Structure 1
C-alpha cells in the first residue's frame, strides 16, 4: 500500500475542515482526505476531489494549506528557485525522468482520490497533473503538497524544496501557534476565483435573459 493510499483513508473531521478554512481564509471545498498533518495533528495538505461539487474540474489534488509552509515555499519562488530547477531539468536526464515519474504518480493518486470522492473520470484534466509536471516546474507549492502527501522519494523536486525550507519549517516541529487566528469565525463565503467566475457567469446569463424578455 502506498503512502498516498494509506493517507487517503484519513477522512477529514469537522474540526479539520474548520481549520483548513481558517488556514486558507475561505471555506474549503470537496476535501476528501487529509494526507499530511503537522506533528500536532493539524492539516498541512488537503486532498481535493478532481471535480468540485459545482462541476469545475480541479487538477490540484494535493493542496498545501499550512500558512507557515506556504509562506516558506513562496519565499523560494520569489528567490528564483523554480528557474534553477527548470535549468536542471533541461540538463539532468535522471532528474527529468524522476519528474516524469512524479507526474505519473500524481495522476494515479488523483484517480484514487476520485474513486474515494465518487466523482468518476474527469476528461477535462485527463493526463494533466499540476505544478508544471512533467516537463517543467511552475508551482513549488504543488510539488511540496505532493511530496508531503506521498512521502519521501515520490516527488524528487518536492523533496528538495522541503529541504530548502528547513530554515523556516520542518516536519519534526509544530509551527501552528499564531499561524492563523484559531479564534476567528470560520469563513463561510467563498471568494475563490472559481466561484467568482461562476457567479459572474450566472449574472451575465441572468442579464441576457432579462434583456431577451424586454
Structure 2
C-alpha cells in the first residue's frame, strides 16, 4: 500500500531540494512532503503535488538525492529502461498493473475530495489524465511500458514496493552516500 504518512517539508528541506536539483528543472513549490530521508537527514525522495499550474504533473515522487540520481543515470544510460521493462513484462505484468493503480489512488488521495471534485467538473481531460495514467504518465491497464528509471526508483522508495524492486535494488546498490559533503545536500 502507498504510504499514507509522509513528513511535511520544513523550509530547510525545500532549500536542500533546490540545491539537490542543481541544473535539473524542478519546482520546489510542488513539494508536499518528504517520503524518505537518508541517514544524514536529507530528503532522498519527495512527494509532489499532482498538479503544476493546473495541469497534471508527471510524477508524485521525485528522486531528489543527487547520489541516487547519479547511480540511476548510469543504469539508465546503459539501457536500464528497456531492461527493466522486459523484466517486468516477463515476470510481473499483473503486479505492474496493481502498482500503477495504487499510484493513481495515491495521486487522488493527495488531491483530496474537494480538489478532485473541482477537477472532475472543470477539467475532465485533466481528471482523465490523473486517473488513467500511472508512473510517468504511462497509460494504465495496457502493456508494460516503463519510462524513466528515476521515476521508477523514486516511486519504489515512495510506495514502499515496485514490481521490479529486486532488479532496481540490485543495480542501484547502497541507497545512500558515504559523505553528504560530496553532494549539494549541505551548504557546509
What CA distance in whole angstroms lies between the structure 1 residues aligned with 2:55 and 2:171? 34
What CA distance in whole angstroms lies between the structure 2 residues aligned with 1:6 and 1:59? 21
1:135-179 residue CA offsets vs partner (Å, 9 max, x unmatched):
21111111111111122xx3121453123111xx325x6552221
**Aligned residues, how many?**
172
The residue that corresponds to 1:65 in the other structure is 64
Does the 8 Å CA contact 2:67/2:183 hold for their aligned counterparts? yes
TM value normalised by structure 1: 0.71
1:145 has 2:154 as partner: yes
What CA distance in whole angstroms lies between the structure 2 residues aligned with 1:174 and 1:115? 38
SS in structure 1 at match of 2:107: helix
What CA distance in whole angstroms lies between the structure 2 residues aligned with 1:99 and 1:119? 27
105 and 159 in structure 1: CA distance in 2 versus 1, 3 angstrom threshold: farther
TM value normalised by structure 2: 0.80
The residue that corresponds to 2:123 in the other structure is none
Larger Rg: 1
1:102-140 residue CA offsets vs partner (Å, 9 max, x unmatched):
101111111222229x74345143211124475211111
Structure 1 residue 74, shift from structure 2 partner: 1.1
Does the 8 Å CA contact 2:34/2:45 hold for their aligned counterparts? yes
Structure 1 residue 38, shift from structure 2 partner: 0.7
1:4-60 residue CA offsets vs partner (Å, 9 max, x unmatched):
1022xx1000001110011012651221111111122110111111112x2232130
Does the 8 Å CA contact 2:36/2:43 hold for their aligned counterparts? yes
What CA distance in whole angstroms lies between the structure 1 residues aligned with 2:145 and 2:169? 18
The residue that corresponds to 1:11 in the other structure is 8
1:127 has 2:132 as partner: yes
- Correspondences of 1:52-91 after superposition (within 5 Å): 52=52, 54-91=53-90
The residue that corresponds to 1:47 in the other structure is 47
